[in-house]
Structure 1
Amino acid sequence: MHNTTRDVSRSTTAQSHSLLDDIVGITASSLLAAIGIFLMDSGHVVTGGIAGLALLISYATPFSFSVVWIVASLPFLPLAVWKKGWNFTLRSLVAIVMVSLFAQLTTAKLGHLSIDPLFGAVAGNVVASIGVLGLFRHRSSLGGFNVVALIAQEQYHWRAGYVQLVIDLAIVAGAFFVASPVIVLYSAVGAFVFNFILALNHREGRYNG
């Protein structure tokens, strides 16, 4: 008996997402990002990016996360238009608004929970990173420093996750003003988890959808 080997040709032609793909993908990814932020908030930890900045400000002021999130995201939109174009910018704006709405909805439906800070930091960042990956793959983002990281990857070939990590650690360091050193440590662990997942999964040539 002889074993026969067959060469199977595989098509490598990427297919663009349909409008329905994008609607479902951006909506689901925004919900995941909001749930991740909710878990972090419930553990009273922070993360990096505009989300982390918004959480920090919401802890230190009477302003809600959703309000600070949208206001802090707006200054980065002109950069997104300039470097990434209107299509990407409008998709990101939709995602920003949806995350804000989903964050309010999640809090309204689940209430204010108090969970272990380390669990909130790790689980929250895992869930949020999957949401952000989904947005990236549908030509969108959460705006803010996501835009900076994506531009750095496209123009200088620096992995977006590593660029975001440097920015995020600087933001997490700001938590020293509103939280204990242990919470800051947990927040740094969470930020590392978030960006490690991002760097591992979002790289040039990895996804062509």
Structure 2
Amino acid sequence: MTQPSPPHHLYEDVLAILIGSIHVAVGVLLFRSADIPMGGTVGVAYLAHYASGLNFGTLFFLINLPFYVLAWRGMGRAFTIKTFAAVASLSVLSEWLPTLIHLDHINAVFAAIVGGLLVGNGLLVLIRHRASLGGLGVLAVYLQETRGWRAGTIQMLMDLVILGAAAWIIGLQAAALSVLASGALNMVIGVNHRRGRYLGC
């Protein structure tokens, strides 16, 4: 029988949130450079940014605010605080990285695959430290806990709506690339995050 994992120290959580947020921010930078939308709250913020021209980081931060109430009720204080820190970090990094990295050209398929892998790896780090990037993922988990609906199904349906909006606003090619990116992202999570497979998990 696997022994329960000891809790992470504060400095480990801080480092994990920073590392995870950097991975996600670089992935989002690749997506934005190739005009590839995403699912989830990042996708909603990207579409709002694309349609309005407003600051992506600010939009992402503001869209997440209502979901912290659900996170607090459904997952507790520690999860909510760490999620808030991750969202704030990504909001800052997503606006700061373009001043450090300038991409004149990037192949869209490469951006979709590598960006998806980076975002998936970043999310994996956050998940391992009981944090998330908030938003629609929190809503899906909350509905699963309170209504018994499957979080994965809810998330998939919400992502389909977002991708449908992306196809209408940006175009079918961008939506197809988003599906490719989502596949790469979910492959990272699926292969590396299975309860009981690893020591201490």
Counterpart in 2 of 1:106?
Answer: 97
Cα distance in structure 2, aligned partners of 1:87 and 1:77: 12
User: What SS does the aligned partner of 2:53 have?
Assistant: coil
Counterpart in 1 of 2:184?
Answer: 193
Q: How many residues are aligned here?
A: 199
- Please tell me the residue identity of whatever aligns with 1:186: L
User: What SS does the aligned partner of 1:140 have?
Assistant: coil
Q: 2:109 aligns with which of 90, 106, 118?
A: 118
| Partner deviation per Cα, 1:122-156 (whole Å, 9 max, x = no partner) | 21111011101111111111000221344467775
Of residues 186-195 and 132-141 in structure 1, the stretch that sits farther from structure 2 once superposed is 186-195
Structure 1 118/68 Cα, relative in aligned 2: closer, same or farther at 3 Å?
Answer: same
Structure 1 20/152 Cα, relative in aligned 2: closer, same or farther at 3 Å?
Answer: same
1:169·1:191 contact (CA, 8 Å) conserved in 2?
A: no
Residue 189 of structure 1, CA deviation: 1.8
Counterpart in 1 of 2:165?
Answer: 174
| Partner deviation per Cα, 1:43-68 (whole Å, 9 max, x = no partner) | 10101000011111111112011011
Equivalent residues in 2 for 1:88-103, closer than 5 Å:
88-103=79-94
Counterpart in 2 of 1:47?
Answer: 38
Counterpart in 1 of 2:24?
Answer: 33
Structure 1 153/135 Cα, relative in aligned 2: closer, same or farther at 3 Å?
Answer: farther
Cα distance in structure 2, aligned partners of 1:91 and 1:44: 29
- Please tell me the residue identity of whatever aligns with 1:89: T
| Partner deviation per Cα, 1:89-136 (whole Å, 9 max, x = no partner) | 111001000001111121111135442222222211110111011111
User: What SS does the aligned partner of 1:47 have?
Assistant: coil
2:34·2:106 contact (CA, 8 Å) conserved in 1?
A: yes
Structure 1 158/198 Cα, relative in aligned 2: closer, same or farther at 3 Å?
Answer: farther
Larger Rg: 1
Of residues 105-114 and 35-44 in structure 1, the stretch that sits farther from structure 2 once superposed is 105-114
Structure 1 37/49 Cα, relative in aligned 2: closer, same or farther at 3 Å?
Answer: same
Cα distance in structure 2, aligned partners of 1:30 and 1:42: 18
Cα distance in structure 1, aligned partners of 2:56 and 2:103: 13
Q: Does residue 75 of structure 2 align to residue 75 of structure 1?
A: no
Stretches of structure 1 that go unaligned for 5 or more consecutive residues are: 1-9
Counterpart in 2 of 1:64?
Answer: 55
Structure-2-length-normalised TM-score: 0.87
Among the aligned pairs, what percent are the same residue? 29
Residue 203 of structure 1, CA deviation: 4.1
Structure 1 203/151 Cα, relative in aligned 2: closer, same or farther at 3 Å?
Answer: farther
Stretches of structure 2 that go unaligned for 5 or more consecutive residues are: none
2:61·2:87 contact (CA, 8 Å) conserved in 1?
A: yes
- Please tell me the residue identity of whatever aligns with 1:132: L
- Please tell me the residue identity of whatever aligns with 1:145: L
User: What SS does the aligned partner of 2:92 have?
Assistant: helix
